[in-house]
Structure 1
Amino acid sequence: MRIRVTVAAVSGALALSALAMPAAHAAGPHRPDVAKVFQAAHAPSAAKAGISARVAGGKMPYDLAVTFSNLKVAKAVKFGTTNRVSTTIAYTMKFGADVDVTAKDFFTGPFLYKGSTGNMLFGDDPATCSVTSATTANCKGKIDIYPGDLNNAEAGTWRAGAEAIAYNGQDPESGDLSKVGYAKQGGLGTTLVQRNSKLTTSAKPKPVKKGKTVTVTGKLSRADWGSRTYAGYSGQAVQLQFRKKGTTTYKTLKTAKTNSTGGLKSTVKATVDGYYRYSFAGNSTTPAVNAPGDLVRVKK
Structure 2
Amino acid sequence: MGKQIWRVVVAGGAAAVFTAVAAAPAGAAEGGVSFTRVQVNDGKPIVIGVSNEVAVPASFRMATTEAWEFPHVFLYRGAANGGDELWHAIETSDCVKVSAGVCDFDETMYFDPSEWDMSNKEAGAWKVAARVYFKGDGADTDDEGLTVHVKRNSRLTVNASPEPVTKGKSITVTGKVTRADWETRKYVSYGGRLVSLQFKPAGSTSYTTVKKVYANSSGDLRTTVTASRTGTWRWVYHGNTTTGPSTSSGDNVVVR
Provide the TM-score with structure 2 as the length reference.
0.83
CA distance in 2, matches of 1:122, 1:137: 25
2:139 to 182, 185, 188: 182
- Tell me the alpha carbon deviations over residues 30-49 of structure 1, each in whole angstroms, 9 at most, x when there is no partner: xxxxxxxxxxxxxxxxxxxx
Q: Contact between 2:7 and 2:89, CA under 8 Å: does it hold in 1?
A: no
- What is aligned with 1:133? 99
Q: Which has the larger radius of gyration?
A: 1
Distance 1:7 1:205, change over 3 A: closer
Distance 1:262 1:8, change over 3 A: closer
Q: Contact between 1:216 and 1:265, CA under 8 Å: does it hold in 2?
A: yes
Note the 1:1-300 alignment, pairs <5 A: 2-7=1-6, 65-74=32-41, 75-96=44-65, 99-101=66-68, 106-115=69-78, 118-121=84-87, 123-147=89-113, 148-167=116-135, 170=136, 180-299=137-256
Distance 1:149 1:136, change over 3 A: farther
Provide the TM-score with structure 1 as the length reference.
0.71
RMSD over aligned CA atoms reads 2.3
Tell me whether 108-117 or 69-78 shows the greater mean CA deviation.
108-117
CA distance in 2, matches of 1:289, 1:77: 14
Count of matched residue positions in the alignment of Structure 1 and Structure 2: 232
Structure (1 or 2) with the greater helix fraction: 1
Distance 1:12 1:217, change over 3 A: same
Q: Contact between 1:122 and 1:142, CA under 8 Å: does it hold in 2?
A: no
CA distance in 2, matches of 1:89, 1:8: 15
- Tell me the alpha carbon deviations over residues 3-36 of structure 1, each in whole angstroms, 9 at most, x when there is no partner: 3332579x9789xxxxxxxxxxxxxxxxxxxxxx
- Tell me the alpha carbon deviations over residues 135-165 of structure 1, each in whole angstroms, 9 at most, x when there is no partner: 3111111111122343112211111121111
Q: Contact between 2:90 and 2:107, CA under 8 Å: does it hold in 1?
A: no
Q: Contact between 1:108 and 1:127, CA under 8 Å: does it hold in 2?
A: no
Cα deviation for residue 188 of structure 1 reads: 3.9
Q: Contact between 1:110 and 1:123, CA under 8 Å: does it hold in 2?
A: no
Identity among equivalent pairs (%): 34
- Tell me the alpha carbon deviations over residues 164-190 of structure 1, each in whole angstroms, 9 at most, x when there is no partner: 1122xx4xxxxxxxxx13111123422
CA distance in 2, matches of 1:189, 1:81: 26
Uncovered stretches (5+) of structure 1, i.e. residues with no partner: 15-62, 171-179
Cα deviation for residue 119 of structure 1 reads: 3.6
* Local SS of the residue matching 1:144: strand
- What is aligned with 2:24? none
Q: Contact between 1:110 and 1:142, CA under 8 Å: does it hold in 2?
A: no
Structure (1 or 2) with the greater strand fraction: 2
